[in-house]
Structure 1
Amino acid sequence: MKSRAGEHHHLSHVVSLLDSLLVLFLMAPSAHSWLASKCSVFEDRDYWFSEVDCHGEKLIAKCSRVTDIRQDLQGLPSNLLNLCIKMDAYAPAVPLAAGSFSQFVSLEFLSIHGCFSQIQAGAFQGLSNLTGLQLTSHSTGSSEGCCEAALGASVFHHLTALKTLDIALYKVSNAALEVFDGIPELEKFWINVCMEDWSEVICRLTRLTLVHEFILKAYNVGILKHPDCTNWNIPAGERSLLRNLRNPSLDFHRIEKIEQGVLKYFGDLTHLTLEPWPGVSLMMYLALFGISKINNLSIKGHRLDLGELCQLSETYSTEIIAVDFEIIDTTTVVAVSCDSLKSMYFYSLGNVFNHYLHMNTFLSFTNLSTLGVMAFLLDPLDFRSICLSSPQSVRHLSSLALSKSNLTKLVNDQFLCFVSLETVELSCDRISEIEELAFRGLGQLQVLDLQGNNIWHIRRLTFSGLYALTYLDLQANPISQIETRSFEHLTNLQQFLLGDLNPPPLEANIRLNLTDLFGEIPRGLGYLFISSGLRPMRLVFGTGGETLNRSLSLHIKGQRVTVENCEGSLLKSVVTLRIDSGQVLCGAEFIGRYTRRVEQLRFTSVFPEDVGDIVVINQLVHLRKLSLENIDLSRQPNVAVMFHNLTRLEILALTNCRIDFLDGSLTKDLKSLRGLHLILRDTVKVFSSFVENLFSLRYLHFWNLRIHCSCDNAWLISWAQNSKLVEVHVHDPSIKEMECLAKNGIDHLKFVQYTKDDCSFEVEFVLFAFTSLSVVTFMLAVLFHRFAGPYILPLYHIVQGWFQETLRKDGERRYRHDAFVSYSGRDERWVVEKLLPNLERRGPPFLRLCLHTRDFQLGQDIVENITESLYGSRRTLCLVSRNYLRSNWCSLELQLATCRLQVEHRDILILVFLEKIPSKMLSAHHRLARLVKTRTYLAWPQEDELQGEFWDRMWHKLRPKTGN
């Protein structure tokens, strides 16, 4: 039986495809994604190639040198979450008009750095999702540079979800009295204002009753007096509402005059910063403010009495004190209790070599947990003396930070009694030698920072006893000698930073074996940084065991680095790899060949032309972020396939790289790429195929793009302007100012103007015409295939038969069969039992019949089989029955036979009715009904005596004429 598969071709998916193509190719541009050069968009802040100094993690936009908010922000996506704007400091101040940000309805954080002539009511209208707002003037804090913009009463009324408000260097005196009304959800309010009268702020704050965190910086206040709010109809008793400002923090510079009890309205202070009058007792100075408690106190001045510091800590229950003084008097501290104080920070304002501070000074601070000392001279023996004389006095100390002191050596057992220390920072100092067992006793130490010293020798027992250590920073030290297994005690180490290694000059290559350092690499190691500075290095990673951290971040820095034991477990565990080196090779191959699990790779080369073959990058199929910097990709022999197979790559940055062309061969597999950042050296050719495969691209950033003056590059302008999904940013210069290199290789032309003058017809009209013609052709082809597809081959045979009939002279033609039998599969029993015995087996001559079940070619298309069999037979015999009328294939065979009859004008069609069919049923088949009316047909007799005559007539009709 004939197969009915494919009998009906449903074209709904084809119609949908046509609709999509029409929309894509024929619609007018409805989205403008060509960003002004003043704005950059980042999908997330985890872009290595960019320092995103803007709040938020997702969908961040940064705009700089802005002069007109509406115009310069055109093209930014409407679903922005975080927006940071820097106004042009040299442009005249303009008003911030109402509805300036109404298109960014999803915005959650907005920062504006600049000054306006006025901020109009409704300026932030529509920002119902905004939770953070920052307004900062250009000024650095001087009263002359404060912004005098007028803030109306309804400026913030539309910010119903605002939780954090930060205003800096604006004159509050120019603001309406009710300026801070209408912010129902405000929790954090930070204000750094330019004012001379304390009342300007205080009287406006009485309306803030829900703020959980309040920070006020008033550097320009010379006189601090009780606020006079009578002009605002606020009774003095209601000023106690300021006590609802929880966690208040006040920051003042030197104040000339203070009225008694001026800060009593705030109750307890979280933080207070002061600069007392010279020669005035600190206790007497603080008594003027009327404060009962200060949790965190920062003071700055010339001379400090440490005993008085202890006294005020007890009086005001102060837990944290930071002092910035030139001279500290320590003679009275022993007689005073300092039980309340938990954290102290000392910073010297003078020359470090003139200020000496003994650790014994802090013996009275029995509950001290954090101590920071910077720019004071220290005696390393003080630590020992404390442990000998008063070991209990430092048992509460958990954090110790010493910087810019005269420490040149750490002796053994120096910290023996500091048993509670968890963090020790000895950075940016002059330490050159650490004796063995210097850190003995620090069994709870977790963080040890020794960066920026002069350490050259790491001894076998230098870090003995630091079993809890998780972080060790030895970077920026000229380490020339490390004894075997110096770090084997650090079994819980998670982050290790080592370098700059600097062995004697006679050693051409630095050789570092991690197995020699650790014995066995710590299982929990998650970050490893090794640097040889500007010298070559040979690294041996050794074995780390199969239980090594499976999410290791590895950072290698050096001139040229060769790695041994690349098949070890350490490289197999790397998921983040950063390289700052000319080359990092395993044997003769790039190290990436052995870091197959890496997800983030950043390679910054110091030798752009000689990094080796890095095409192995295309084997890192797990890569999500890739940054290549200062690399000459034009020298890479396989650059065309370097980014193949990277189907998971989301961010690609090429910074200060040289490449000859950008085309589709580079990007064919980057299906997941969302962000693309390009800073390219020299002139580059950019082909339109470069972006054809980037289906997920959302952000494309060009910096200092230099291209050839060619119409092949003109697509970039129109694509950047009309691309619906991709935000395109061309920066330094902007796309309007971008120049292209003329064909003479000397002159530079304005690229936008060049495309208008030389490429507008070629690019716009030709592409439009070609695209339109292609779409129409495609539509016609689909429609023709839908309605005429089955008749293409029959049409060919009809035309061929017509030519043969026209040209034949004697009417002779060779046929394979005497008759093609068209019948329904349901009537096959009659054909086998009746038709074949009475026609094929009767002779001579014996007839040759063509049956689809027997004579069709296997594997050939059904329509093609029907057509070739029908035209390869002298006549067509149609066995008509009810089953025949219900068969689509039989209907097709009858149509083709009728077409042949009309062309050849010969008696080639014989109709046989196997059963009586009512006229009503027959009338539904117009072609067959017309044939019945115009041609003689045979009817199968049911009486046995008439059947013999039926077969005689049939046989005589079908038998070939003599000579054929």
Structure 2
Amino acid sequence: MKSKAGEHHQKICTVSFLDSLLVLLLAVPSAQSWLAGRCNVYEDKNYWFKEVSCRGEKLIAECFGVTDIREDLKGLPPNLLSLCVDMDPHLPDTPLDSGLFSRFVSLEFLNINGCFSQIQAGAFQGLSNLTGLQLFSQWSDSSAGCCESAFGSSVFHHLTALKMLDIALYNLTTMALDAFEGIPELELFQIHVCIEDWSEVICRLTRLNVVHEFTLIAHHIGILKHPDCTKWNISTGGSSFLCNLSNPNLLFNKIEKIEQGALTYFGDLAHITLETWPGVSVLMYLSLFGFSKITNLSVMGYQIDLGELCQLSERYSAEEVGVNFEIINTSSLVAVTGCNKLKAVYLYSMGIIEHRYLYMNDFLSFTNLSSLAVMSILLDPLDLRSICLSSPLSVQHLSSLTINKSNLTKLVSDQFTCFFSLETVDLSCDRISEIEEFAFRGLDQVQILDLQQNIIRHIRKHTFSGLFALTYLDLHENPISQIETRSFEHLTNLQQFLLGDLNFSPTDPNIRLNLTDVFGEIPSRLGHLFISSGLRPMQLAIGTYGTRGKLNQSLSLHINGQYVMVEDCESSLLESVVTLRINSGQVLCGSEFIGSYTRRVEYLQFISTFPEDVGDIKAINQLVHLRKLSLENIDLSKQPYAAVMLHNLSKLESLALTNCRIDFLDGSLTKDLKSLKLMVLSLKDTVKIFSNFAENLSSLKYLYFSHLRLHCNCDNAWLISWAQNSKLVEVHMRDPSIKEMECLAKNGIDHHKFVQYTKEDCSFEAQFVLFASTSLSVVMFMLAVVFHRLAGPYVLPLYYIVHGWFQEALRKDSKRRYRYDAFVSYSGQDEQWVVEKLLPNLENRGPPFLRLCLHTRDFQLGQDIVENITDSLYSSHRTLCLVSRNYLRSNWCSLELQLATCRLQVEHRDILILVFLEKIPSKMLSAHHRLARLVKTRTYLAWPQKAELQDEFWERMWNKLKPKTGN
């Protein structure tokens, strides 16, 4: 009947099984317009996205208010697995073009909600992996409310892997007769037709391959005639697809006329749902259809007699019957013996029961029931026990029992002793106020017990005795005022437990609950625990206990109350919590937030009932295993450590701040969120978002803003361009959208359209900054080029010149001692003259003997060449420049001459000697302006070519270079 495998969800008690069935079969998604022409992409279904309805778990895309389907799908990733497209209902009909989805080769599920003038034959080309396709037409202004769309021949034949096809509110007459051909793997086919001619339906379905489950919804058909397909040259004879259906389901509204055998082509029917006219016998009504077997029969109408229901089940060998009627008559039920083959009965009354009560004894003829649901029908409160006393075998096969809204007020002892096959008991949404001890004795197989939304006040020690196999117990939304000691000690296999709303004595300021007292030993398999004190403060003690075996290491803990104080915080129960949900003003362990003691939590949801009084929640940054975090209705601006609250959360993947107040968002808040993929921000009041906010979010894929209000400040202008142009992050803004978003003016009163404000007040500034920075960059580049062209060779020498000046200034007052008598600046091509002429006549002549510095001999190995030149030059008493044509062509010689000249200008001493090794024309010398100027202002030596003059040359050179006495 119902699954309790997941965690607690709010139950709507007014919806019956049959209502749920009809909603499931008939519902058509409606268009949403909050993101016109935009698509949302979700990597997985996160709990806060309640609007996510598209199937699948990974890479889901939903597009709402689509105006141009080809254009709006362009930005979607090609590896989507599920895609839902909701067209703008106000657009004129457009065709669904060929190849529109061809790039989504991985797509497995596709839902399209919209009316198209034509669906072309190649519309689904390329979708070889598609297994599910839904085509829903939106309601139009036409009386039929259906879409007149032309389906091409074999429009689905590209879908070779398709297993499920669902078409709703399309007119069959505009479809080609072979529209459904060529779907070899189809298993489930559901079609909601808008047509009045029964033959139009049957004759098209004969072209369909055999499927496992087929559902036909035909609310517009009022007359069922024997189908005539001769005008299309189609035979509906024995080999028809309809006869081979293994699980056909038919849903009709009120049929006015039925021709004999109109539905015989369907053979044995799996499921039929129909609505009858007032005063019309259902038995007579169904006899006109020509069925021999109906497995599942659901009937809606004005009045039903349960005796007639048994006749139906006997005649059509029905296994399940669902009844939804205004008036149910039970007067003839006891005299009928045709219900012994029914396995499931679901009764829902929209109105009244004749004879006021429906007695459980009325079901004694239902001897094979495995499921019984009685909803909104008054029951005799003592009647359940009477079955066990009078006819216990009548319920021996019953595995599921549902009694909702039946005015059941009390459960008495041993009233279920004969229901020994029950596995699920749903007594929710009743008026049960008292449960006697041992009321559930004998229910050894029951795993699920739902008692939510009753008025139970007292839990006794043996209220739940006998429920040894119970894994799920729901007592929430009961005003429980007393729980006796060890009331739950019998529930040794309990896995999910929902308790509350606790409403202990009003004389006690706090509600106190000790888990060890009520359990004795907390069940070791407990995986979900929900405790609520409603609107009252609560003191929750875990107590000292020994669990039965090792405590479940994946506990989900949900706490609800005004203020909650937790004791025994060092217990292993809190250590095992991996999911923590809080709906309270505060949940404290001593004076600390409970998060300080739940270090293994991976998912935290905190909804505060008092935004400004939640205490210090800085301990969230200690939850290093956290993957999902949701904070709602919390004033983070009052948190003293809000700036570091999200630090250390390097594993966090999803973050939602809903209705929270925060002054600003910047990079310091998000610096550790390296794994964050999804962020949802619905902030209260205005906020300032700095441009470094997203710098650290390297894994972010989806960012959703809702109710975003900014200050009118150009610092926030970056957000608009980033939201519109970001390629790595899907940024969506809703309520309002980007165009409608307002900002608060500096006076704190006026509001402006933010996009318009940024264009008018920030765009000029941005353009000017861009222009100025570009112009400055161009000017700087030009200056750099000119400077490099004119002064490039002098930059490095200039550094060493300045360095030399600085060292000279330091040595001004100190006595100078030189390592060399002269630094020889010469070209490498003149080295032979230096070795054969210069060294013998200067270094080997003496005493005193001269020490010359040669770059080939005296430069330090591994040192920079320019540094070697500078050090050697300033370590020498004089500089001897051997000028030749080779010298003038050497860049290194030119540098040495520059450095020597600059030293000469600084020291103002006779330290530079020029020697011309050969005669150089004035024209060649003029190109070297520095040397030419020196030649004009200083005496220089020329190497004589005549041998008789060379001795005099060396004598003058030696006398010039030899050290003075005492130097």
Report matched runs for 1:507-518 at 5 Å. Answer: 507-518=508-519
- Aligned residue number for residue 599 of structure 1: 602
What's the CA shift for 1:582?
Answer: 1.3
Give deviations 1:305-327, integer Å, cap 9, x for gaps.
44443344344332222122322
| TM-score computed with the length of structure 2 as normaliser | 0.79
Q: Distance in 1 between matches of 2:123 and 2:451?
A: 50
Work out whether residues 35 and 76 of structure 1, in 8 Å CA contact, stay in contact via their aligned partners in 2.
no
Helix, strand or coil at the partner of 1:766: helix
1:630 pairs with 2:644: no
Greater displacement, 359-368 / 810-819: 810-819
Greater displacement, 315-324 / 695-704: 315-324
- Change in Cα spacing, 1:687 to 1:314, as seen in structure 2 (3 Å) is same
- Aligned residue number for residue 386 of structure 1: 387
Q: Structure 2 unaligned runs (5+)?
A: 1-33, 788-793, 824-842, 854-858, 879-891, 905-910, 914-958
- Aligned residue number for residue 732 of structure 1: 735
Q: Distance in 2 between matches of 1:481 and 1:772?
A: 80
Report matched runs for 1:463-482 at 5 Å. Answer: 463-482=464-483
- Aligned residue number for residue 371 of structure 2: 370
- Aligned residue number for residue 520 of structure 1: 521
Q: Distance in 2 between matches of 1:413 and 1:300?
A: 36
Q: 2:613 aligns with which of 604, 610, 619?
A: 610
Helix, strand or coil at the partner of 2:345: strand
- Aligned residue number for residue 760 of structure 1: 763
Q: 2:643 aligns with which of 629, 636, 640?
A: 640
Work out whether residues 245 and 266 of structure 1, in 8 Å CA contact, stay in contact via their aligned partners in 2.
yes
Give deviations 1:633-683, integer Å, cap 9, x for gaps.
111122111111111111111111111111111111111111111111111
1:702 pairs with 2:705: yes
- Change in Cα spacing, 1:329 to 1:714, as seen in structure 2 (3 Å) is same
Q: Distance in 1 between matches of 2:702 and 2:65?
A: 21
Greater displacement, 298-307 / 723-732: 298-307
Query: Aligned AA for 2:410?
Result: K
Work out whether residues 277 and 302 of structure 2, in 8 Å CA contact, stay in contact via their aligned partners in 1.
no
Q: Distance in 1 between matches of 2:778 and 2:160?
A: 50
- Aligned residue number for residue 409 of structure 2: 408
Q: Distance in 1 between matches of 2:384 and 2:557?
A: 36
Q: 1:579 aligns with which of 562, 575, 582?
A: 582
Helix, strand or coil at the partner of 1:640: helix
Query: Aligned AA for 1:395?
Result: Q
Query: Aligned AA for 2:487?
Result: S
Report matched runs for 1:932-943 at 5 Å. Answer: none
Work out whether residues 310 and 333 of structure 1, in 8 Å CA contact, stay in contact via their aligned partners in 2.
no
- Change in Cα spacing, 1:103 to 1:488, as seen in structure 2 (3 Å) is same
- Change in Cα spacing, 1:586 to 1:266, as seen in structure 2 (3 Å) is same
- Change in Cα spacing, 1:847 to 1:103, as seen in structure 2 (3 Å) is same
What's the CA shift for 1:756?
Answer: 2.0
**Number of aligned residues:** 857
- Aligned residue number for residue 557 of structure 2: 554
- Change in Cα spacing, 1:164 to 1:817, as seen in structure 2 (3 Å) is farther
- Change in Cα spacing, 1:444 to 1:667, as seen in structure 2 (3 Å) is same
- Aligned residue number for residue 953 of structure 1: none
Query: Aligned AA for 2:209?
Result: T
Q: Distance in 2 between matches of 1:414 and 1:141?
A: 56
What's the CA shift for 1:514?
Answer: 1.0
Give deviations 1:26-53, integer Å, cap 9, x for gaps.
xxxxxxxx98674433221124254312
Greater displacement, 580-589 / 485-494: 580-589
Q: 2:656 aligns with which of 653, 657, 670?
A: 653
Query: Aligned AA for 1:145?
Result: G
Helix, strand or coil at the partner of 2:692: helix
- Change in Cα spacing, 1:772 to 1:220, as seen in structure 2 (3 Å) is farther
- Change in Cα spacing, 1:229 to 1:264, as seen in structure 2 (3 Å) is same
1:666 pairs with 2:669: yes
Helix, strand or coil at the partner of 2:351: coil
Work out whether residues 459 and 483 of structure 2, in 8 Å CA contact, stay in contact via their aligned partners in 1.
yes
Work out whether residues 79 and 107 of structure 1, in 8 Å CA contact, stay in contact via their aligned partners in 2.
yes
Query: Aligned AA for 2:58?
Result: K
Report matched runs for 1:17-32 at 5 Å. Answer: none
Query: Aligned AA for 1:748?
Result: H
Query: Aligned AA for 1:606?
Result: T
1:688 pairs with 2:691: yes
- Change in Cα spacing, 1:37 to 1:770, as seen in structure 2 (3 Å) is farther
1:676 pairs with 2:676: no
Helix, strand or coil at the partner of 1:524: coil
What's the CA shift for 1:900?
Answer: 6.8
Q: Distance in 2 between matches of 1:110 and 1:131?
A: 9
Report matched runs for 1:86-235 at 5 Å. Answer: 86-90=86-90, 92-102=92-102, 104-139=104-139, 144-153=144-153, 155-235=155-235
Give deviations 1:78-133, integer Å, cap 9, x for gaps.
44332323334455544444455455454332223333444445444454443322
Work out whether residues 181 and 209 of structure 2, in 8 Å CA contact, stay in contact via their aligned partners in 1.
no
- Aligned residue number for residue 493 of structure 2: 492
- Aligned residue number for residue 269 of structure 2: 269
Work out whether residues 206 and 239 of structure 1, in 8 Å CA contact, stay in contact via their aligned partners in 2.
no
- Change in Cα spacing, 1:494 to 1:810, as seen in structure 2 (3 Å) is closer
Give deviations 1:868-914, integer Å, cap 9, x for gaps.
976785599xxxxxxxxxxxxxxxx9999999789769799xxxxxx
Report matched runs for 1:935-954 at 5 Å. Answer: none
What's the CA shift for 1:263?
Answer: 2.0
1:42 pairs with 2:69: no
- Change in Cα spacing, 1:764 to 1:497, as seen in structure 2 (3 Å) is farther
Q: Distance in 2 between matches of 1:353 and 1:814?
A: 129
Q: RMSD of the TM alignment (CA)?
A: 4.7
Q: Distance in 1 between matches of 2:708 and 2:863?
A: 56
- Change in Cα spacing, 1:903 to 1:89, as seen in structure 2 (3 Å) is same
Work out whether residues 296 and 320 of structure 1, in 8 Å CA contact, stay in contact via their aligned partners in 2.
yes
Work out whether residues 355 and 376 of structure 1, in 8 Å CA contact, stay in contact via their aligned partners in 2.
no
- Change in Cα spacing, 1:414 to 1:811, as seen in structure 2 (3 Å) is closer
Work out whether residues 794 and 867 of structure 1, in 8 Å CA contact, stay in contact via their aligned partners in 2.
no
Greater displacement, 766-775 / 70-79: 766-775
Give deviations 1:464-504, integer Å, cap 9, x for gaps.
12111000000111111111111111111100111111123
Greater C-alpha radius of gyration = 2
- Change in Cα spacing, 1:713 to 1:332, as seen in structure 2 (3 Å) is closer
What's the CA shift for 1:793?
Answer: 8.8
What's the CA shift for 1:389?
Answer: 2.3
Q: Distance in 2 between matches of 1:514 and 1:776?
A: 77
Work out whether residues 102 and 126 of structure 1, in 8 Å CA contact, stay in contact via their aligned partners in 2.
yes
Helix, strand or coil at the partner of 2:553: coil
Q: Which has the higher contact order (CA 8 A, sep 6+)?
A: 1
Greater displacement, 894-903 / 268-277: 894-903
Greater displacement, 608-617 / 242-251: 242-251
- Aligned residue number for residue 543 of structure 2: 542
Q: Distance in 2 between matches of 1:100 and 1:708?
A: 42
Work out whether residues 797 and 871 of structure 1, in 8 Å CA contact, stay in contact via their aligned partners in 2.
no
Helix, strand or coil at the partner of 1:664: coil
Helix, strand or coil at the partner of 2:668: helix
Work out whether residues 353 and 376 of structure 1, in 8 Å CA contact, stay in contact via their aligned partners in 2.
no
What's the CA shift for 1:279?
Answer: 5.0
Q: Distance in 2 between matches of 1:862 and 1:728?
A: 55
Q: Structure 1 unaligned runs (5+)?
A: 1-33, 785-790, 821-838, 850-854, 877-892, 909-955
Give deviations 1:48-80, integer Å, cap 9, x for gaps.
254312222122233333444345556444443
1:742 pairs with 2:752: no
Q: Distance in 1 between matches of 2:962 and 2:299?
A: 124
Report matched runs for 1:263-302 at 5 Å. Answer: 263-276=263-276, 278-279=278-279, 281-302=281-302
What's the CA shift for 1:412?
Answer: 0.8
What's the CA shift for 1:541?
Answer: 2.0
- Change in Cα spacing, 1:318 to 1:794, as seen in structure 2 (3 Å) is farther
What's the CA shift for 1:437?
Answer: 0.6
Query: Aligned AA for 2:675?
Result: S
- Change in Cα spacing, 1:866 to 1:463, as seen in structure 2 (3 Å) is farther
What's the CA shift for 1:274?
Answer: 2.5
| TM-score computed with the length of structure 1 as normaliser | 0.79
- Aligned residue number for residue 30 of structure 1: none
Helix, strand or coil at the partner of 1:144: coil
What's the CA shift for 1:416?
Answer: 1.1
Query: Aligned AA for 2:162?
Result: L
- Aligned residue number for residue 240 of structure 2: 240
Query: Aligned AA for 1:408?
Result: T
Q: Distance in 1 between matches of 2:331 and 2:962?
A: 134
